[in-house]
Amino acid sequence: MGDQAQIEKAAELSRGLGRFIRSLVGLDRAAVAAEFSAFVSAGTASADQLEFVELVIEHLTERGTMDPRLLYESPFKDIAPSGPEQVFSIERTDDLFDAIARLNNSASIVA
C-alpha cells in the first residue's frame, strides 16, 4: 500500500480519487450493459454495431472509465476504421459518447 503522497499523486493522474479507484476495480458488467441496452434493445442493431458496443462494455468493465478518443483506435477501428460514425448514425454516435460520459462522471467523488 502506498503512502498518502503516492495515493494523492495516483488520484491526481487519474483525474480524481473516484476514477483512480474505478481504474483499479472496473465496473459491474450488468451496470455497464444496462447503460448501453438502448443500443441493442430495438433489435435492429447490425453485427458490427453489436460488436462495437460489446467492446465498449468490455473496456468499461475492465478499466472503469473510458476516454472517448479510444473509439478511434484499435480494437474499435478494427470494426469501424473511420470511427463509430461508420457504424452508427450521428445521433446514435452522440448517444454513445453521452453514455460513456455518464459512466465516467459517475466515478467522480463529490465532497
**56-74 per-position pLDDT tens digit:** 999 999 888 899 999 999 9
7 within domain boundaries:
no
Q: Cα 76 from chain centroid?
A: 12
17 within domain boundaries:
no
Domain that holds residue 43: 27-105
39 within domain boundaries:
yes
> 7-45 pLDDT, tens per residue?
555 545 545 666 666 666 677 889 889 888 877 776 688
- Note the pLDDT of residue 3: 65
35 within domain boundaries:
yes
Query: Which three-class secondary structure string do you get for 42-70?
Result: CCCCCHHHHHHHHHHHHHHHHHCCCCHHH
88 within domain boundaries:
yes
34 within domain boundaries:
yes
61 within domain boundaries:
yes
Domains in the chain: how many in total?
1
13 within domain boundaries:
no
Binning pLDDT at 50, 70 and 90, where does residue 55 land? very high
- Note the pLDDT of residue 96: 94
